[in-house]
Amino acid sequence: MGMGQPLAGKRLFVLDMDGTIYLGDRLFPWTLPFLRRVREVGGQHLFLTNNSSKTSRTYVEKLRQLGVDASSRDVLTSGDATIELLRSDGKYRKLFLLATPEVESEFAAGGFELVRVEMGSGAAGTGRSSTTGPTVARPDAAVLTFDMTLTYGKLRTFCRFLRDGVPFIATHPDINCPTPEGPIPDIGAFMALVESSTGRKPDRVVGKPSPDFLKAAMLRKGATAAQTVMIGDRLYTDVACGLAAGVTTVLVLSGESTREMAEASGHKPDLTVENLGELIPLL
* CATH 3.40.50.1000 applies to domain 12-50+208-282: yes
Tell me: the pLDDT tens digits for 22-77?
998 999 999 999 999 999 999 999 999 888 999 999 999 999 999 999 998 999 99
Name the residue ranges covered by the structural domains of the chain. 12-50+208-282, 81-205
Q: Are 78 and 188 a contacting pair, CB within 8 Å?
A: no
Q: Are 27 and 55 a contacting pair, CB within 8 Å?
A: no
Mean pLDDT (whole number) for 129-139: 65
Q: Are 262 and 269 a contacting pair, CB within 8 Å?
A: yes
- Comparing 12-50+208-282 with 81-205, is the CATH topology the same? yes
% the chain with pLDDT above 70: 92
Query: Cβ neighbours of residue 257 under 8 Å, at least 6 residues apart?
Result: 233, 234, 235, 251
Helices (H) and strands (E) in the chain, counts: 10, 15
The whole-number pLDDT of residue 89 equals 86
Confidence of residue 227 (pLDDT cuts 50, 70, 90): very high
Q: Are 165 and 198 a contacting pair, CB within 8 Å?
A: no
Mean pLDDT (whole number) for 133-148: 87
Tell me: the pLDDT tens digits for 149-193?
999 999 999 999 999 999 999 999 889 887 888 889 999 999 999
Q: What are phi and psi of 79, to 5 degrees?
A: -65, -45
Angle between helices 101-109 and 78-89 (to 10 degrees): 30
Nearest to 57 by CA among 80, 82, 23, 85: 80
Nearest to 163 by CA among 187, 134, 186, 138: 138
Per DSSP, helices labelled H in 168-264 are: 187-198, 211-221, 240-245, 259-264
Confidence of residue 124 (pLDDT cuts 50, 70, 90): very low
Residue 79 pLDDT > 90, yes or no? Answer: yes
Strands, E, within the chain: which ranges? Answer: 12-15, 22-23, 26-27, 44-49, 75-77, 94-98, 113-114, 141-144, 168-170, 176-177, 184-185, 204-205, 228-232, 248-252, 271-273
In the DSSP assignment, the letter for residue 174 is -
3-state secondary structure of 54: coil
167-200: burial string, b at 16+ Cβ within 10 Å, e else: bbbbbbbbbbbbeeeeeebbbbebbeebeeebeb
Mean pLDDT (whole number) for 101-108: 95
Residue 4 pLDDT > 60, yes or no? Answer: no
Q: What is the pTM of this model?
A: 0.78
pLDDT averaged over every residue in the chain: 90
Nearest to 14 by CA among 269, 280, 160, 218: 218
In the DSSP assignment, the letter for residue 74 is G
Topology (CATH level 3) of domain 81-205 = Rossmann fold (3.40.50)
Mean pLDDT (whole number) for 98-118: 92
